Amino acid sequence: MKRLSSLLLCSAACLTSAWGQTLTSIEAVEYEPNSDRWVVSNGSSMLVTADEGVTWSTFGSGGATHGMEVVGSTLFAIQNNVLRAYDVVTEDQIGSVIPIGVAFLNGMGSYSNDAGDFLVVSDFGTGRILKVAVTDPTDMQVSTLVGNTGTTPNGVTVVDQTAYVVNWGGNASVLAINVETGEQSTVLGNSGLGNCDGVDHVWGSFVVSSWSPQRLSLFTMDDEGAWSEGETLVQGSPLSNPADLSINTAGDTYAVACSGNNTVYFGNLMDWNDVTEWTAPFDTHAAWAGAHLDLTQAQDGQWTLCGFDLQGRQLGSHQVTLAQGTTRLSQSDIGAWLERARLVEATFQPQGAHAGTFRTTLKQTVLH
């Protein structure tokens, strides 16, 4: 969404400690959607907050030193090159693996498809990108996706089967890696940022943290997959070496772990569930009809449908050209991902020059 930056809210908070819990050696923060809370790495422990840092409590008895990722009901956390898995309900450790030959496990993203659940993990020290099968968290299987990126890879996020990797170093690049083939390309060769650390995505936009300058930047991706020039969200104080970051399911709040002063910075983004972008001068709308989608338009054009899960990860997409009128589409028309999608972004582009576009985000209220 290219309108994201203009609709940012100004309120934000930096929190260091509450209820006797003190943040130390923090590097990563992760949104945990099952209980609508945030988990932060804290060296030999992990802390959790459900009120954006007003109060903190300990998450289980495990620890995390770097990247974290929630997949389903499992929290995966890196602790000194050990990848650990925790049940988010019981907060007990349920699995661990030590990948062979790693130097510095750092960031990670995740994706799911018909083959199962997977993590994509960066090795800052060797330039490797690992792929970890985590469908069974008690028996994680590690393989190498990219042997050497030729960069110093840091934060990772995955969108539509593509892993986007931000890198350390001056004028750092952003890489795109096919999670099935390992094919690597550069989507942003000159970011203008030094020492990029964290990255997460929200509906076609990406938030990136950097140390030089101390900044959170917003990038949008065009139809060709290239990233735009970054726009500044926050720069300077209160940021201090902003590291890994996370965006919540609704896409209206982000948090970044500031390793320089052991604070977590919470910022507000727009509420995507309330967004309808309308510039088309004709009757156009999309709506749920049970498990189907009704699409209505007053002239011929193309609909693009993108489905997302409760963690904001894209499950699939579908394009269809329809004549004017109302069309009801089913799962068999759109794809199996429709049944699992909790949010569907629907965009209509009418035929004809100078025609406007319609975009809305539909929230699926029926949980399966």
Largest CA distance in the chain: 62
Residue among 176, 210, 207 nearest 193 (CA): 210
47-56, 130-139, 249-258, 263-272: the lowest-pLDDT one: 263-272
Coil/strand/helix, residue 272: helix
Looking at residue 275, its pLDDT comes to 37
Give the per-residue pLDDT at 22: 66
Mean pLDDT score, 315-325: 85
Question: Mean pLDDT throughout 341-354?
Answer: 74
Q: Which residues contact 39 (CB under 8 A, 6 or more apart)?
A: 29, 30, 32, 46, 47, 48, 59, 68, 70, 75
Q: How many other β-carbons are positioned within 10 Å of the β-carbon of residue 183?
A: 12
- Write out pLDDT tens, residues 153-207: 999 999 988 999 999 999 999 999 999 999 999 999 989 999 999 999 987 789 9
Backbone CA torsion sign across 230, 231, 233, 238 = positive
Neighbours of 155 (CB within 10 A): 28
Query: Residues of the chain with pLDDT > 90: what percent?
Result: 52
CA distances from 8 to 4, 52, 213, 228, 305 (A): 7, 17, 20, 18, 25
- Output the six-digit token pair for 245: 């970051």
Q: What is the pTM of this model?
A: 0.73
Q: How sure is the predictor about 366, in pLDDT bands with cuts at 50, 70 and 90?
A: very low
Distance of CA 288 to the CA centre of its chain: 25
Task: Say which DSSP state 341 is in.
Answer: -
DSSP bridge partners of 344:
307, 362
- Quick check: 272 pLDDT over 50? no
Please say if the pLDDT value at position 151 is more than 90: yes
Q: Look at residues 237, 242, 239, 232 and name the one whose alpha carbon lies nearest to residue 209.
A: 242
Return mean pLDDT, the chain: 85
Cα–Cα distance between 183 and 307 in angstroms, integer? Answer: 24
What is the band of 237 on the pLDDT scale with cuts at 50, 70, 90? confident
Single-letter amino acid, residue 350: P
Using pLDDT thresholds of 50, 70 and 90, give the confidence band for residue 338: confident
How is the beta sheet containing 45-49 ordered, strand by strand?
29-32, 37-42, 45-49, 57-58
Is pLDDT of 140 > 70? yes
Q: Does the pLDDT of residue 14 top 80, yes or no?
A: no
Higher pLDDT, 152 or 300: 152
Q: For residue 53, give Cα distances in angstroms to 92, 191, 239.
A: 23, 31, 16
- 49-58, 166-175, 287-296, 338-347: range with highest mean pLDDT: 166-175
Where is pLDDT greater, at 351 or 311?
351
